[in-house]
Amino acid sequence: MIAASLGFLTATAGLAIEPRLAKVAAPLVCREHFEISSDSFSTASHESGVNRHFYCSDAEGSKRSITLRIALACFCLFSIGYGILLAILSPWILPRLKSL
């Protein structure tokens, strides 16, 4: 459960903050050229933000959005990675948690 929560955090907030994290999952989703697009914007109330989009383009130059697929692939990969890491570290973490 903890690994899935960390995977979800990385696949959502992590991709928003550091979109290059998507390159880990790109080969699973896009066999052609993978592109990251970041569009900055500001509103009338002087707030600003960034839209992130992930695209897969073929040799002819046509692009298709793979933003949701990338997020889902990142969620799966990072959840598995966090699960492995927690399984390795659990012999050291669990005794310390029990003593609290």
pLDDT of the chain along its 100 residues, tens only?
889 999 999 999 999 999 999 999 999 999 899 999 999 999 889 899 999 999 999 888 899 999 999 999 999 999 999 999 999 998 888 787 777 6
Q: What token pair was written down for 25?
A: 């999952």
Per-residue pLDDT, 61: 82
Please report the pLDDT score of residue 69 as a whole number: 95
Q: Output the pLDDT for position 93.
A: 81
Report residue 47: phi and psi, to 5°: -95, 155
Q: Domain locations in the chain?
A: 2-89
Please give the distance of CA 89 from its chain centroid, rounded to a whole number: 23
Closest CA to 75 of 25, 32, 28: 25
